[in-house]
Amino acid sequence: MPQLKTPVSARTIRPLPLDHSFFARDPRRVARDLLGKLLVRDPGARGPRLIARIVEVEAYLGEKDPAAHAAAGRTLRNAVLFGPPGHAYVYFIYGNHYCLNVSCEPDGKAGSVLFRALEPLAGLEHMAQARGVKLSGPKDLPQLTSGPGRLAQAFGITRDRDNGCDLTQPQSGGLWIGQDGYEAPAIAVTCRIGITQATEMPLRYVFSGNSFVSGGARYNGSRPKNS
């Protein structure tokens, strides 16, 4: 029953970019509405188009959210969070990994959505190469894009390359967010993962039971909300 979708050609999906107004809202609304949208990388001559569907995100609420990078106020590192909506905030963490956010709220107000897991649809071989993963069966696919560090590596996302780029513009940097009319199935909301502040707030949004959601069975929303 786990629906491992057959990989499709990039040509069969025609994503359209989103408007800035989509992102100029409360991060909780943006997070909820981003589920089912597409992350797209157009690397130009460097390789094929990469497409993956967003299946897990977290909302960060800005300066008043103790878990947010914006909590300490504006710094050089987090400046994008305070800028115009729809732009990529990329940070480096644990000496090893990049993570991707999109800025929310109107210009001047912080707030963002963290991309935590994707379901890969096109360019899988390229993603596998970027990840250093050998694809021998459907069971290997979550290794590509299940987890914030993994999806960033699969899409070649780095701070130098992508921080500050406009995710509503297909040309700008080649990284953007698209929509194809896909309607979200059941959605679950849980606490955020991997943080030490404000750990009890329900700000993580997932496709219930989707096999690409990170965090294991306890966090994929397929289990009743008891112990």
3-state SS string for the chain: CCCCCCCCCHHHCCCEECCHHHHCCCHHHHHHHHCCCEEEECCHHHCCCEEEEEEEEEEECCCCCCCCHHHHCCCCCCHHHHCCCCEEEEEEECCCEEEEEEECCCCCCCCEEEEEEEEEEECHHHHHHHHCCCCCCHHHCHHHHECHHHHHHHCCCCHHHHCCCECCCCCCCCEEEEECCCCCCCEEEEECCCCCCCCCCEEEEEECCCCCCCCCHHHCCCCCCCC
> Binding segment for DNA among 17-25, 33-41, 72-80, 119-127 (CB under 7 A)?
72-80
Q: Which of residues 123-142 bind DNA (CB under 7 A)?
A: 131
Query: Which of 49, 80, 101, 190 forms a contact with DNA (CB under 7 A)?
Result: 101
Q: What does the per-residue mask of binding to DNA show for 142-181, with x meaning CB under 7 A? A: -x---xxxx--------x----------------------
Identify which range of 37-45, 97-105, 122-130, 175-183 contacts DNA by CB under 7 A.
97-105
Q: Which residues in this chain contact DNA in the complex, by CB under 7 A? A: 58, 60, 67-70, 72, 75-78, 81, 89, 92-97, 99, 101, 112, 114, 131, 143, 147-150, 159, 192-197, 214, 216-218
